[in-house]
Every structure is written in structure tokens, then in C-alpha cells.
Amino acid sequence: MTSIIGMVIAIIEIAYSFIGTNDTGQFFGFEMNIWLFRLLWLGLFGIVFYGYLKESKKP
């Protein structure tokens, strides 16, 4: 269940970064280029999604 919440948060962060007009994004207090910010959230989504798939395939 927590992995689904993590994936939803990542998708919301990525989508919201396209709506705003910022050139930078904040990740745990650090300002970074908006594309790096999006890539980081996409990577976190991928890690959580991979873990979710591994858990769902367990018998």
C-alpha cells in the first residue's frame, strides 16, 4: 500500500512541475534545475514501481 502512495506522490510532483512556471524545483530543501528535479522524481517513481512489481509477483 505504501508503494502505491509513493508512486502517486511522484506522479503528482512531476505533473505539478509542468504546471508551474518555475525554472528550479526544490527537493528536500535543495534547489535544482527543473529537468533534473523531474528526472529525480521519475527515478524515484521507477524504483518504487519496480519494488511494487516484485512484491506483487511473490506467491
Render pLDDT for 3-59 as a digit per residue (tens, 0 to 9).
888 889 889 988 888 887 778 887 778 888 888 988 999 999 999 999 888 888 877
Parse the chain into domains and list their residue ranges: 2-56
Listed in order, strand segments (DSSP E) in 1-59 are: 24-27, 30-33
Supply the pLDDT for residue 43.
Answer: 94
For residues 7 and 42, give the distance between their C-alpha atoms in angstroms, rounded to a whole number: 9
Supply the pLDDT for residue 27.
Answer: 78
State which H helix or E strand residue 2 sits in. helix 2-19
Q: Is residue 1's pLDDT more than 80?
A: no
C-alpha cell at 49: 514501481
pTM: 0.78
Position 15: which residue type? A
